[in-house]
Structure 1
Amino acid sequence: MDSPADSPMDRTAQDRPVEGRDRDDEGRARNARPRDGLGRPLPYGADGVPRQPEGVVRAPDETVAEAQRLLDDGKPFHAHEVFEDAWKSGPEEERELWRGMAQLAVGLTHAARGNVTGGARLLRRGAGAVTGWAASGAGRERPYGMDLDSVAGWARRLAGDVEGGMSVDAAVRAPRLRG
């Protein structure tokens, strides 16, 4: 039997794979590089922000609360992962809501990174998704206490600010999900 030192996933002093790609326990490609608060990869061995665990199934109210905490902390990339978990694990009729919320968080991430085009586009796409989802059924204006009209308005204003050349501090410009 090969020893752990003989594994192709051995790490160098910088914690980088010796050969091949970073893989999780199921063999899926995963980038193990540490990340900063906006999800940007850092060099192997650097101190990064702990990642959100993937595939966590939360109650919708827990999803909103955790995402708001991360947004308030200036970690919209991590908030997007929380929304993505809800999108992938929630009921089919709510997928468009959670996908739209994930797009809004990624839009804020790109805007804070200085990606004007991508940030504005994702903010508007997410705003359209959540307002479209709310309009598609009665009583959907405030799911789980979220004020989707206010959130969509925030996203559209931020998209315009980003296109106008304003730099974005993710924590300062984080939306209030529940009005």
Structure 2
Amino acid sequence: MGDSTGRGGRDRDAGGRARSARPRDGLGRPLAYGAPGVARQPEGVARTPEGTVREAQRLLDAGMPFHAHEVFEDAWKSGPPAEAPLWKSLAQLAVGLTHAARGNAVGGARLLRRGAAGLGGRAGESPYGLDLAGLVRWAGELAGRVEGGEPVDAAREAPRLLGGGLE
């Protein structure tokens, strides 16, 4: 990372893809080069579904929903295509929490509602022990509070992925 090839002056990874080498904070916001930041999630990690849920919950509980989104994104992109909508919706919930915690009420509420809509048709299911109905309720409730201007602390608002939508 950080290998700038001169193509537009952008940082590039070893494969030549644009990827910022700037450190990031716990909400994924870029910091100045050289500033201490939070370690990034490695990309393309193939985890079991249970491992994905465990790691995402750990990151959510730590107030790092941006990083949890990356874990869900790995599952979405590397898992069976039939499960991609589940993981994509969970990633949207995590990104919605990220935006809400960053103070972006419009984007946060929109992504929380989009993720909830993606799970809504499956709300009676609990794949891998996920409480989809609880997550849909959590997302709708949080989206309403965010739209009302309430500030959001990512760790305090972290959803419970298993057995109940709220902490």
* Residue number in structure 1 paired with 2:19: 30
Shift of 1:20: 2.0
* Residue number in structure 2 paired with 1:141: 125
Distance in 1, Cα, partners of 2:4 & 2:70: 26
Distance in 1, Cα, partners of 2:102 & 2:34: 22
Matched, 1:41 2:30: yes
* Residue number in structure 1 paired with 2:143: 159
Letter in 2 for 1:59: T
Matched, 1:66 2:55: yes
Q: 1:14-70 CA distances to partner (integer Å, 9 max, x unpaired)?
A: xxx8x8211111111100100000000000000000000000000000000000000
Unaligned runs of 5+ in 1: 1-7, 11-16
CA RMSD of aligned residues (A): 1.5
Distance in 1, Cα, partners of 2:105 & 2:4: 37
Matched, 1:107 2:96: yes
Secondary structure at 2:106's aligned position in 1? helix
Distance in 1, Cα, partners of 2:151 & 2:63: 14
Distance in 2, Cα, partners of 1:80 & 1:45: 24
Shift of 1:165: 1.1
Matched, 1:9 2:28: no
Shift of 1:105: 0.1
Shift of 1:115: 0.2
**Structure label with greater radius of gyration:** 1
* Residue number in structure 1 paired with 2:66: 77
Q: 1:65-99 CA distances to partner (integer Å, 9 max, x unpaired)?
A: 00000000000000000000000011111110000
Letter in 1 for 2:62: D
* Residue number in structure 2 paired with 1:122: 111
Matched, 1:173 2:162: no
TM (normalized to structure 1)?
A: 0.86
Distance in 2, Cα, partners of 1:119 & 1:111: 4
Unaligned runs of 5+ in 2: none
